[in-house]
């Protein structure tokens, strides 16, 4: 069983906070007996909660007892003297009542405080869980990007990789792009060094020259000239490449009079 995936489900947090269902509690306890790392994770979470509670503990105000006693004294003054003579309350009873009232108020105070702290802890655990998931997603994306970079680097440093310069035509002499072409790996990459911005309603389209026939290689994005290495489809038998300006969405055939760059292998 994938223990790490089980630890990331959030069921342990619910178990420690007492929010798990009976089925979930049974599952956690079974896993804790079977896998020491699960039991260790539970103990660590419990220790963290105890440290958090001690760190944020708030003692009742010292003036609370005095306020309670003053309130009782004011209440006694409002009782008529005749009633006080008929129903005389022993001093020990008064102190007992005061102590009971103080205990009730203190219990209510602590119950409210603990409830609030529990809500704060739940919110913090939920936020932490979300942050962990974001970090895991970022790590996966980084791993994918790293593999792509390693793959591209292996092709670029290969001695069999051909560097094909696509130079600008008469309508765009400053245009320049480089194709990295490797038949052994059946890989191709394009680095757009310089292409003018596309006018509205138009896109650049790339073509492979195969025995005098132009094969569509897809549309190009040139928002980041010189900073992005684009993957391009490998077309068997290609002798050269052409970049033309076409209407948005592409064309089945290249518009020769709008050729911006071309080069031969």
pLDDT digits (tens, 9 = 90+) for 66-82: 666 666 666 656 555 44
Same domain, 46 and 74: no
Same domain, 166 and 209: yes
Same domain, 26 and 118: no
Among candidate residues 86, 121, 154, the one where a domain is terminated? 154
Among candidate residues 37, 55, 73, the one where a domain is terminated? 55
181: how many CB neighbours lie within 10 A of its CB?
23
Q: Say what angle helices 22-34 and 36-55 make with each other, to 10 degrees.
A: 120
Same domain, 67 and 147: yes
Same domain, 72 and 149: yes
Read off the CATH number of the domain in which 225 is found: 2.60.40
Give residue 72's domain range.
Answer: 63-154
Same domain, 182 and 244: yes
What pLDDT, on a 0 to 100 scale, did the predictor assign at position 28? Answer: 85
User: For 133-158, what is each residue's pLDDT tens digit?
Assistant: 877 787 777 776 667 676 666 777 78
The percentage of residues in the chain with a pLDDT greater than 90, rounded to a whole number, is: 30
Same domain, 19 and 43: yes
Same domain, 139 and 177: no
Instruction: Give the total number of structural domains in the chain.
Output: 3
The DSSP bridge pattern shows strands 162-168 and 202-210 to be unpaired
Q: Which residue has the higher pLDDT, 3 or 107?
A: 3
Q: What is the mean pLDDT of the chain?
A: 78
What's the pTM value of the predicted model, to 2 decimals?
A: 0.46
Q: Which of 13-17, 96-100, 123-127, 174-178 has the lowest mean pLDDT?
A: 96-100
Q: By the 8 A CB rule, do 239 and 265 touch?
A: yes
Same domain, 71 and 46: no
Same domain, 78 and 144: yes
Same domain, 194 and 255: yes
Among candidate residues 55, 72, 87, the one where a domain is terminated? 55
Same domain, 93 and 141: yes
What pLDDT, on a 0 to 100 scale, did the predictor assign at position 255? Answer: 93
Q: By the 8 A CB rule, do 94 and 64 touch?
A: no
What pLDDT, on a 0 to 100 scale, did the predictor assign at position 57? Answer: 54
């Amino acid at each position: 069983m994938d223990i790490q995936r089980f630890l990331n489900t959030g069921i342990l947090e619910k178990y420690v906070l007492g929010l798990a269902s009976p089925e979930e509690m049974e599952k956690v306890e079974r896993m804790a007996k079977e896998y020491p790392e699960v039991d260790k994770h539970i103990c660590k979470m419990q220790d963290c909660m105890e440290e958090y509670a001690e760190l944020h503990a708030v003692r009742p105000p010292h003036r609370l007892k005095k306020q309670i006693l003053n309130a009782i004294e004011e209440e006694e003054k409002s009782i008529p003297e005749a009633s006080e003579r008929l129903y005389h309350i022993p001093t020990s009873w008064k102190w007992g009542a005061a102590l009971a009232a103080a205990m009730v108020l203190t219990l209510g105070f602590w119950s409210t405080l603990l409830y609030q702290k529990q809500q704060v802890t739940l919110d913090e655990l939920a936020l932490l869980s979300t942050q962990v998931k974001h970090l895991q997603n970022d790590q996966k994306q980084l791993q994918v990007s790293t593999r792509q970079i390693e793959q591209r680097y292996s092709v670029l440093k290969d001695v069999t990789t051909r560097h094909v310069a696509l130079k600008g035509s008469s309508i765009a002499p400053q245009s320049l792009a480089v194709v990295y072409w490797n038949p052994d790996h059946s890989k191709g990459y394009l680095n757009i060094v310089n292409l003018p911005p596309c006018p509205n309603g138009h896109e650049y389209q790339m073509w492979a020259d195969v025995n005098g026939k132009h094969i569509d290689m897809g549309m190009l994005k040139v928002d980041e000239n010189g900073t992005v290495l684009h993957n391009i489809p490998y077309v068997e038998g290609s002798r050269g490449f052409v970049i033309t300006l076409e209407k948005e969405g592409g064309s089945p055939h290249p518009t020769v009079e709008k050729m911006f760059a071309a080069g031969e292998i």
